[in-house]
Amino acid sequence: MRAVKIAVLQLALIMLMVLPVRALDVEISNFKLANGMEVVVIPNNRAPVVTHMVWYRVGSADEVSGKSGLAHFLEHLMFKGTSKRAPGEFDRLIDINGGEGNAFTTSDYTAYFQRIASDRLELMMELEADRMQNLVLTDENVLPELDVVREERRERTDNDPSALLGEQIDAAMYTAHPYGKPVIGWMSEVAKLTRADAMAFYRAHYTPANAVLVVAGDVTPEQVKVLAEKYYGVLKNSFTPQPRVRTPEPDPIAARRVTLIDARAASPAVQRSYLAPSYSASTGHEALALDLLADILGSGTQSRLYKSLVIDQKIAAYAAAWYSGDQMDSGTFGVYGAPNPGVDVAKVEAAMDAVLADLLKNGVTQQELDRVRNQAIAERVYTLDNQAALARMAGVALTTGLSARSIFDRDVEIGKVTLDDIRAAAARIIVLKRSVTGVLLPEPQTLN
Amino acid sequence: MRLLFLRIIVAGFTLAISFTSAYAIEIKEVTSPGGIKAWLVENKAIPLIAMNFSFEGGSTSDPAGKEGTAHFLTGMMDEGAGDLDGAAFQALRDELAVRINFDSGMDQFEGSLQTLSKNRAQAFDLLKKVLTAPHFEKTAMERVRQQFLVSAINDEQEPESLASRAWMELAFGSQLYARKSSGTPQSLAAITPDDLRAMHRLLFSRKGLKVAVVGDIDAASLALMLDDVFGGLPDTEPPKPVSGVTVAKGPVVKVIDRDIPQSIIVFGNEGILRSDPDFIPAFIMSEILGGSGFASRLTAEIREKRGLTYGIGFGLSPMDHAGLNVGSLGTRNEKAGEALAIVKDTLKKMADEGPTQAELDDIKTYLTGSYALRFDTNNKIAGQLLGIQEENLGIDYINKRNSMVEAITLDQVKAQARRLIDSERLIVTVVGKPEGLKSTGTGG
């Protein structure tokens, strides 16, 4: 075992080096325009390129009941023209200026972005400011786009049994809170969305005071401020955004279980999600503790689940854990296992349960905590290489109730998480009644 | 997400259109004392180093009946090397936050390393161990085999994977490119430790090596590192298993029946090599027809006007010894026949008439203007530099590229449309329950 000892010695040295270092040392500027629109600038002059993003504090969890998919449908329709720009002109202007653009929607936010040469930033602002207030929709372009969205749902969800199972797990997790709805919407509801629905949603949610501008890349805060005042600062608010209060999820009282039997699934899998707080909806270090706990349990080949199920027992091909804490109102903590060919999925679930029981009984070790903490801090340095990722971090923070600074300062806070924080978070969250267990089975006969 | 193309196409394809452009970055060619060459872009702005490298030869060197051997090798490269067993290797790698990855294409075996520059000595030492002294320990190998088996079993049901693989089989018949580079459940089960050792000896040679490095390291340090990391590899000739490849011609349609609501359609025909003198006008033509922006003709006809798909793309896919033009889309089963008919009409119109001057002007400003987006992270720059080396385009290619695009005329692009697009002889594979399409023809 000589080799192992050498490695351990090297590890100890590295830990000493890594721990005090601040990984993500990013200068950001964060200010508000007079109309309330928030602005974040992240200078990064690696290349003469900018990432320009406009985020709206609205997502699928802000839709009214029966209109699931509306926030995402509107995202598609935002490219269909304004009173100043014909349909298609937006995309063409970005193309001929050598840019790339797209958009995305989640439960909590809708974001639009372009990556383009930094000397074209002004044009991007002109285009985004225009469509924040002047969208024009006709049935001629709305109806084909509704078909596009339905194809998107078929491609990404209905054709894929594991995506369908994920949707069922979310639906079972939330009995009252709208996080139980899929962002893309239920097909039966998407099919009935109309131009009037989209315009009403647009008028109710798209206004400067409900938006966040993030610019990262080859710019200075001063340049961005001048341009932002010129294009976004002059816009008048059509309404005053109210606090986003969604139907709260009652404390869970019963473990739930969903099983999807689908002939299209080639191999079985099991996952369990526990209702957990998110960064935004937690206090102290609970969210960070859950992040580190997920790493200890199920990130990489040294994690507890991988070691137990894959390496030692040889019953699973993959085993992992995650913490999803970026939502505004709540998050999930979860574990996952994919059996080796021929192994019963129930055996994998039982082995996961045993790992969790041991964790709850005996806690984690200081060595494990140090390992995942150092690695988490070191890994964050890679984010410095990617201006689009930096911009995205800021946008997520500001549309889910966090400050932009807090998300970059997270590596400082990681150093403060204690074994007690982890023990307390595990005891509170890894409780069966908070959970939904989802099982994917290829064939009915493996059920019992 | 407003747009997400179906993964076009086919396991083992490197979409190596190294179509880069005039962007002022300084590339140095570094030659080590031992004669190993690398391209370097030095950048000290952030404390990171990215290195991409490749060896000539890849999955086409898999022994018959043992398809997936090179792919299997990629999974064994962190399972112990030199004086470190698998667990010790992984612990050290993770603690250093070093990223080492391998990928086996049809014609190249590629690797990458990313590290914090302060850890570079340990990072390069780990890489050296992996390259020169990997363990193919039996227990680890069985574990990795189970992982690849699960993936291979899932691929046999995954619609896009099924459609792509069937397409490659129709295009290449019994030739090496038709094989699945990630292997089948049967072939993966047959691979032994000796097979991995033999593949390692075959592929990892200094003669077939290309290296690109970007970030916080100077030329002198890199030169020493090159000898240290790669100097211990043999100087043997890289494998050349592929020659005289032919691509079948359609018309042929193969429907693979699956109970899914959306049919996945892959369509295409023979294309050209990257070394073809007309590659750039051909690439411009394919971008206008099916490129990645929202303005392509296929996106306009199939998605924007008719709402028949979420994503359609079509383009050149050059491999080392064969070129392809391949596209794909997903559409609801009821509309599959209609969607393919419109694809064919759109292709035919391009072949008959070519693009308009306005389309050519627009695509040129897009291609030349978006140059810098390919160079805005260390990883992307390293990927570009390696691709340019693999395609033998020359160290000055980045500075010439935009003027090469600018110089292309409408007649050149029209000529490529006539030459490369043949809507009547497409090879088409469909997975789903498509209405209006059935299997026809056998190719030839």
pLDDT tens figures, B213-262: 999 999 999 999 999 999 999 999 999 988 899 999 999 999 999 999 99
Look at residue A410 in the predicted model and tell me its pLDDT: 87
Residue A88 contacts B, CB cutoff 8 Å? yes
Q: Is A260 helix (H, G, I), strand (E, B) or coil?
A: strand
Q: Which CATH architecture has domain A29-231?
A: 2-Layer Sandwich (3.30)
B411 CB-near residues (< 8 Å, 6+ apart):
none
Give the whole-angstrom CA distance, residue B161 versus residue B181: 12
**Alpha-carbon distances, residue B371 vs A447, B25, B380, B381 (angstroms):** 54, 12, 12, 11
User: In a mutagenesis test of the B interface, which of A100, A109, A147 is the best target, namely the one with the most B β-carbons within 10 Å?
Assistant: A147
Q: How far is CA A77 from CA A56, A143, A219, B216, in A?
A: 15, 10, 30, 44
Q: Round to whole Å and give the CA distance between A238 and B9.
A: 47
Cα Dmax for chain A? 73
Q: pLDDT over 70 for what percent of chain B?
A: 94
Q: At how many degrees (to 10) do helices B279-290 and B336-353 cross?
A: 140
The 8-class DSSP code of residue B102 comes to E
Closest CA to B269 of B337, B172, B130: B172
Contacts of A91 in chain B (CB under 8 A): 293-295
Residues of B in contact with A338 (CB under 8 A): 150
Which of A15-29, B27-41, B292-306 bottoms out in mean pLDDT, i.e. has the lowest? A15-29
Do A130 and A86 touch, CB atoms closer than 8 A? no
Burial A327-363 (b: 16+ CB within 10 A, else e): bbbbbbbbbbbbbbeebebebbbebbeebbeebeeeb
B 269-288 near A (Cβ less than 8 A)? none
CATH number, domain A256-446:
3.30.830.10
Q: What is the pLDDT at residue B3?
A: 54
Q: Of all helices (H) and strands (E), which one includes residue A196?
A: helix A195-205
Running DSSP on this structure, what letter comes out for residue A251? Answer: P
* B307 at interface of A, judged by CB pairs closer than 8 A: yes
pLDDT of B304: 93
Strands across the sheet with A269-276, in order? A256-261, A435-441, A269-276, A331-339, A316-324
Please answer yes or no on whether A75 and B159 come within 8 Å at the CB atom.
Answer: no
Digit-by-digit pLDDT tens for chain A (448 residues) are: 333 333 333 333 333 333 334 566 788 999 999 999 999 999 988 889 999 999 999 999 999 999 999 999 999 999 999 999 999 899 999 999 999 999 999 999 999 999 999 999 999 999 999 999 999 999 999 999 999 999 999 999 999 999 999 999 999 999 999 999 999 999 999 999 999 999 999 999 999 999 999 999 999 999 999 999 999 999 999 999 999 999 999 999 999 999 999 999 999 999 999 999 999 999 999 999 999 999 999 999 999 999 999 999 999 999 999 999 999 999 999 999 999 999 999 999 999 999 999 999 999 999 999 999 988 988 888 988 889 999 999 999 999 999 998 888 888 899 999 999 999 999 999 999 999 999 999 976 444 4
Report whether A109 contacts A395 (CB < 8 A): yes
Residues B48, A384: C-beta atoms closer than 8 Å: yes
3-state SS assignment for residue A367: helix
Q: Where does chain A hold its CATH 3.30.830.10 domain(s)?
A: 29-231, 256-446
Confidence of residue B295 (pLDDT cuts 50, 70, 90): confident
Kind of pairing between the strands at A49-56 and A211-217: antiparallel
B234 in contact with chain A, both atoms CB, cutoff 8 A: no
A75 included as an active-site residue: yes
Measured between CB atoms, does B81 come within 8 Å of chain A? Answer: no
Question: Can you tell me whether residue A375 is helix, strand or coil?
Answer: helix
* Domains, in order of start, for chain B: 28-230 (3.30.830.10), 252-370+395-432 (3.30.830.10)
Q: A103 and B48: CB-CB below 8 Å?
A: no
What ipTM did this prediction achieve? Answer: 0.92
> Nearest CA to CA, how far is B25 from chain A (Å)?
9
**B45 has a pLDDT exceeding 90:** no
Q: Residues B176, B179, B182, B187: is their CA dihedral positive or negative?
A: negative
Peptide bond into A252 cis (omega under 30): no
| Residue among B273, B266, B274 at smallest CA distance from B290 | B266
Q: Which CA distances in Å does B34 have to A165, B226, B235?
A: 56, 8, 12
pTM assigned to the model: 0.93
Indicate the Cα dihedral angle A201, A205, A206, A208, nearest 10°.
170
What is the tens place of the pLDDT at every residue in B342-357?
999 999 999 999 999 9
Quote the pLDDT of residue B294: 66
What does the pLDDT read at residue A377?
Answer: 87
Closest chain B residue to A18, measured at CA: B96
**What is the DSSP secondary-structure string of A16-62?**
HHHTT--S-----EEEE-TTS-EEEEEE--SSSEEEEEEEES--GGG
Distance CA B73, CA B70 (A): 5
Q: From CA B179, how far away is CA B58, in angstroms rounded?
A: 12
Angle at alpha carbon of residue A90, lines to A87 and A91, rounded to 5°:
100
In the set A27, A38, A63, A75, the catalytic residue is: A75
Residues 6+ apart with CB under 8 A from A257: A436, A437, A438, A439
Question: Omega into B388 within 30° of 0, i.e. cis?
Answer: no
Helix (H, G, I), strand (E, B), or coil: what is residue B131? helix
Whether B147 sits inside 8 A of A159 (CB atoms) is no
